[in-house]
Amino acid sequence: MQAPYDTEVTTDVFAEARNTFNCLIGQLTGTASATLTHDRLEETIVEQGRELQRQMLQAHLDLRALRERQQAHHARQDRQDATTAGVTGPDGVARRRLESGHHRLLATVVGTVTVTRCAWRAPGVRNVYPADVALSLPAVRHSAGLARLAVIETVRGSFDAAHASLVARCGSVIGKRQIEQAIVAAAVDVDAFYAAQTPVPCIASTVLAISVDGKGIAMRPEALRPATAKAARARATFRTRLAAGEKPARKRMATLGVVYDAEPAPRRPHDVIAVPGGRAGQRLPRARPSAMRKWLCGSIVTGPGPVIAKVFDHAEARDPGHARPWVVLVDGARHQLDLIAAEAARRGIGVHVVIDFVHVLEKLWAAAWSLHPPAAPAAEDWVAGHALALLAGHTGHVITALTAQASTAGAQRRDGIDACIRYLTNNFEHLRYDQVLEAGWPIATGVIEGACRHLIADRFDLAGARWGLAGAEAVLKLRALIANGHLEKYWHFHLARQHERVHQSDYQDGYSLTA
């Protein structure tokens, strides 16, 4: 039977914290504090309050160290054969030699503390620290709370801004390089977390919408894909400056994917586009389908293929029986269409591919400027008329009409209208908007377009930002995780996985100091 803790601790480990608290009370009740403004009072309480919290945490750790040492010695004394006493590590080797007074530092949100614990040792194997397991200490110097705070600050601003915020709140407990390393480490379990989740199912009539898009991120030269790096070197004109038209940064394409549910909302063409001349009367357009339970993912390390596969994995988790209508919204990029078709065929899923109607409108506007002078009011009615025809399912008639009008446009003004004709012809089978509107399905990629702006543009396009591959991947995954509303749930999962890695598979004699 294990001996109970010896609670008779001769040293008052909380004495320093108690003195600090009494000094703070004395300072606040003294006559000098009566002249302080509220901002000076706030500063005093925050600064001394943080030190008081650090001292209380340090005192508790010291108390646990005293109790651990007492319990270990008592346990060995209670055994008749002291050689059998000890601790068995995860490698199955018993450690029978006890050494107390081993120390390591732990940087926390209230400051840096020292963790004192007992080491159980044996020749030729790594030390075992039972206190590290009980405290679930990380392999690095920085605590889980500090890492979580670094995640929150980093995903919404630059690393410099995150470092300044952490220093203002926690003191000088972490550097910019350590923040970058903490972010990479914090994102390692995102894929495993989502693989273990079971989404809430929906009824068979609810639309299961999928959308995929890409956006470039400015990268450091070593983080570019080989083809991009080779092209950049080939186009370099000068060693010390940029040539005319040469861009200062090269980008690597990140792929984003989204899955969401939408209740059908049938509409008619004039609910989407006003008739030429504008709307008349008081009737309001019917509402479009609303996106619900959005789930985002993305990657810059892998190409679009793995991201599309991940999106299909999540969609199948929502609809394992393939009973719901699967609607895939894309902008018409041929490589995306091929990858989506291949993934759907591999899984035996029937999907309805819909080309984003906003992209179609942009093609119509480009064609309009081939037939109308710049800023001509008639161009708007021309676009509206053809757009309504497309929404009504008359794509062939629109192509025929544009082809006829292109012959009168003149050789120097046909680029826009020719591009529109090619776009409509190449995507003919995915432009059945009459059927899509009647079924009440979405026809635009606004959800994924908004995700590209929110996940990438708002964070990665900061002035002067140049990204490394590991950091960009981690920030992208964490921003998607937070956008999904899963940070709290993920963090518990991540800490559990981290505990397994550090204390069960690789026992923590390998305390690492981050650079």
Contact by Cβ (8 Å): 467, 218: yes
C-alpha distances in Å from residue 248, one per residue of 220, 316, 439, 464:
11, 42, 47, 10
3-state secondary structure of 407: coil
List the beta bridge partners of residue 363.
none
pLDDT tens digits, one per residue of 391-438: 999 999 999 999 998 887 664 578 899 999 999 999 999 999 999 999
For residue 45, count CB atoms less than 10 angstroms from its CB and return exposed for 0-12, middle for 13-18, buried for 19 or more: middle
Q: Tokens 């299909």: give the residue.
A: 312
Contact by Cβ (8 Å): 344, 351: yes
Strand ranges across the sheet with 326-330: 292-299, 250-262, 207-219, 326-330, 351-355
CA atoms of 107 and 185, how far apart (whole Å) = 16
pLDDT tens digits, one per residue of 459-491: 998 887 889 999 999 999 999 999 999 999 999
Q: CA angle at residue 273 from 271 to 274, to 5 degrees?
A: 90
CA atoms of 231 and 252, how far apart (whole Å) = 13
Q: Give 263-330 as a DSSP string.
A: ------HHHHSPPTT---SSPPPPPPPPPEEEEEEEESSS-HHHHHHHHHHHHHHH-TT--SPEEEEE
Contact by Cβ (8 Å): 176, 159: yes
Per-residue pLDDT of the chain (515 residues; tens, 9 = 90+): 444 444 455 568 999 999 999 999 999 999 888 889 999 999 989 989 999 999 999 999 999 999 998 887 776 666 545 455 678 888 888 888 888 889 999 999 999 999 999 998 999 888 889 999 999 999 999 999 999 999 999 999 999 999 999 999 998 999 999 999 999 999 999 999 999 988 888 999 999 999 999 999 988 888 888 877 777 666 666 666 766 666 666 889 999 999 999 999 999 999 998 877 766 667 788 899 999 999 999 999 998 999 999 999 999 999 999 999 999 999 988 999 999 999 999 999 999 999 999 999 999 999 999 888 888 888 999 999 999 999 999 999 999 999 998 887 664 578 899 999 999 999 999 999 999 999 999 999 999 999 999 999 999 988 878 899 999 999 999 999 999 999 999 999 999 999 999 988 755 555 554 54
Global confidence as pTM: 0.86
**Start-to-end C-alpha separation, the chain:** 44
Contact by Cβ (8 Å): 96, 120: yes
3-state secondary structure of 142: strand
β-pair type (111-121, 292-299):
unpaired
Domains of the chain: which residue ranges? 1-85, 95-186+486-515, 201-235+246-356+444-484, 357-429
